[in-house]
Amino acid sequence: MNKQMSAASSNNRQDRLIAELSHLWIDRQDQLVIEKNIQALNARYNLYRKMAHEPGFEDIIKQMVGRLANSFPGLSDLQNKRILDIACGSNTSKLPASFFLSTLFGGRSVVPNQGYTALFEPWFCRILFELGAIPVGVDFGDLEQEVFIHYQVDLGKTGTLDFLPDHSFDAIQDSRLFGSPEFTAQFRNPADRLKVAREIARQEQRLLKIDGIIIHSDAAALFK
Ligand SMILES: C[S@@+](CC[C@H](N)C(=O)[O-])C[C@H]1O[C@@H](n2cnc3c(N)ncnc32)[C@H](O)[C@@H]1O
């Protein structure tokens, strides 16, 4: 493919992504907000370049934005909402050998490239920050340069989230901690992993406001 053709195909891909994501909201204003959000992520974090290089990356963004659409029918509802993302991803997070990714647009197995990954940078918190929410990310990877509130914690330690006050979040997510290479190396015994999941599910109930929303919780799903 020559340079012109490849630029045109990447523009098409970007337009398609924006069209798909904006249609998750009915209101025209919300559609414009999400379009601006994707462009802001691109300007700040080279979203499109990373997308072109990593299989599964586009689906991660679709999945995160899809979860927001499921939880917040209007994007203005997100203004100043305190949202906790447990194991939010980081700039040093590692790739699993493969994983299954399900989005509002379908599901597929992803076998990532080896080495550095942009897949598990803290995308959900970044998206929320650009949308005017107050995301709080916790992870033990590197989050130092991130603009949102973040804490470096080891989620494998009981009571590690105790410093966050009771009922202080409007919404919470935990996603893909338990299958991550870091976590499975730290806890080789499945019973120990389950113990951590139980503690995280307990913390989520403690931290959520009475009318708060669980956006997505792998921990809670383990105890259904
Ligand atoms: C696969 S990434 C998931 C990122 C994002 N939540 C998502 O769904 O795409 C798993 C994250 O869990 C973090 N993690 C693994 N074990 C942890 C631990 N014991 N304490 C804190 N973070 C941990 C890793 O640093 C990584 O950022």
* Integer Cα distance of 60 and 66 in angstroms: 10
Tell me the CA distances in angstroms from 207 to 54, 109, 220, 221, one per residue in order: 34, 33, 14, 17
- How far does the centroid of ligand 1 lie from the alpha carbon of residue 176, in Å? 7
81 lines ligand 1 (CB under 6 A): no
* Integer Cα distance of 150 and 142 in angstroms: 10
First to last CA, the chain: 50
Strand partners for 18: none
Q: Are 129 and 79 in contact (CB under 8 A)?
A: no
137 lines ligand 1 (CB under 6 A): no
Q: Are 183 and 156 in contact (CB under 8 A)?
A: yes
| Main-chain dihedrals φ then ψ at residue 145, nearest 5 degrees | -85, 0
Q: What are the sequence ranges of the domains in the chain?
A: 3-221
Strand partners for 169: 208
- How far does the centroid of ligand 1 lie from the alpha carbon of residue 93, in Å? 7
Mutation test of ligand 1: which of 93, 116, 123 has the most ligand atoms closer than 8 Å to its C-beta? 93
* Integer Cα distance of 155 and 87 in angstroms: 8
177 lines ligand 1 (CB under 6 A): yes
pTM of the model: 0.92
155 lines ligand 1 (CB under 6 A): yes
Closest by Cα among 74, 68, 81 to 31: 74
Sign of the torsion angle spanned by Cα atoms 96, 99, 102, 107: positive
- How far does the centroid of ligand 1 lie from the alpha carbon of residue 180, in Å? 6
Q: What is the pLDDT along the chain (224 residues), one digit of tens a residue?
A: 566 666 666 678 888 999 999 999 999 999 999 999 999 999 999 999 999 988 889 999 999 999 999 999 999 999 999 999 999 999 998 887 666 667 777 776 766 666 668 999 999 999 999 999 999 999 999 999 999 999 999 999 999 999 999 999 999 999 999 989 899 989 999 999 999 999 999 999 999 999 999 999 999 998 87
Half-sphere exposure of 190 (CA within 13 A, CB side): 1
89 lines ligand 1 (CB under 6 A): yes
- How far does the centroid of ligand 1 lie from the alpha carbon of residue 8, in Å? 35
**3-221 is classed CATH 3.40.50:** yes
